[in-house]
Amino acid sequence: MYIKSTSLIEKDGFTEYCNTKTNFMNLDVGLLKLSKGEKFEFKACGREKAFDLLEGEIEIKINNDINLKFERASLFHDKPSVLLADKTFNIEITCLSEKSELIVQATHNEKEFGYKVWNKDDLEISISGQDQALGTCTRKVIQFFDYESFPESNMVMGEVICSPGQWASWPPHRHYQPEMYLFKFNKPEGFGVSFVGDDAIKVMNNDATCIPGQLLHPTVCAPGYIMWYCWMIPNLPNKPWVERSFDERYEWTSTNDVEISKMR
């Protein structure tokens, strides 16, 4: 399954991509776009919620009591700030810059763990794939939280940045849990290809792919463009995301022992 959402680029307000009532994802995911001075409130609603700032400067008010400020110049060149809050908190977002944009992820969670903030200095960038297939799978990965680092949450969230022509999620892998990728490109005509099982889907700005569990899902970026995506996974009951398995046909590409043409 995939969601083509390119038409959302200029739309202010909250746009829902999926929710726990209508599909298999077991996640609520949406994109919030605000202009200066605009506010948007998320009620507690019995769900934990994560907020990933993509661009702009915002003020976050938690239960009308705690105030936080996040700022991010560019999702391609600047690390994010992230808020995770349990089901008991109302969250109000106010835009302080000319515009701002956030990804909001939520799911059911009966645990009360308060709230947690990951500022830029708390998040590390790891470089993956530089020793795979002559460097054609090199990407930057920022993992915010998962079951191992924050087991109180029922969600996993992070970002990947692919340089021009690079592959991600390689070798092709699968896991029991579903996953969503939400894509951005550094130029409006930029694109990539997201594979979901045997389907190859062209993705552009604000497009998303919803990936059922157990399907392989590599991605690739077109030459000349930077591809960014946010990846989101639910930790299912008694089945948190702690491992993945690779397609054995392609595992050999995990090394640099690949053939190149020597034709003259």
Whether residue 10 has pLDDT greater than 80: no
Q: Look at 162-171, 200-209, 249-258 and tell me which has the smallest mean pLDDT.
A: 249-258
Query: pLDDT category, 1, cuts 50, 70, 90?
Result: low
> What local confidence, expressed as pLDDT, does residue 134 receive?
87
Model pLDDT, residue 262: 84
Q: Show the domains of the chain with their CATH numbers.
A: 2-254 (2.60.120.10)
Q: Quick check: 111 and 46 in contact, CB under 8 A?
A: no
**76-123 confidence digits (pLDDT tens):** 999 999 999 999 999 999 999 999 999 999 999 999 999 999 999 999
- Look at residue 24 and tell me whether its pLDDT is greater than 60: yes
- With 80 as the cut, is the pLDDT of residue 7 above it? no
The C-alpha atoms of residue 243 and residue 162 are separated, in whole angstroms, by 22
**E strands, 4-112, where?**
13-18, 28-35, 39-42, 47-62, 66-72, 82-85, 91-95, 99-108
Residue % of the chain over a pLDDT of 70: 96
Q: What is the pLDDT of residue 152?
A: 96
Q: What pLDDT is recorded for position 244?
A: 87
Q: What is the mean predicted confidence (pLDDT) over 238-262?
A: 88
Least confident of 36-40, 106-110, 135-139, 149-153: 135-139
**Angstrom distance (rounded) from CA 30 to CA 14:** 7
Q: How far apart are CA 75 and CA 229, in angstroms?
A: 10
Q: Which residues pair with 84 in a beta bridge?
A: 50, 116
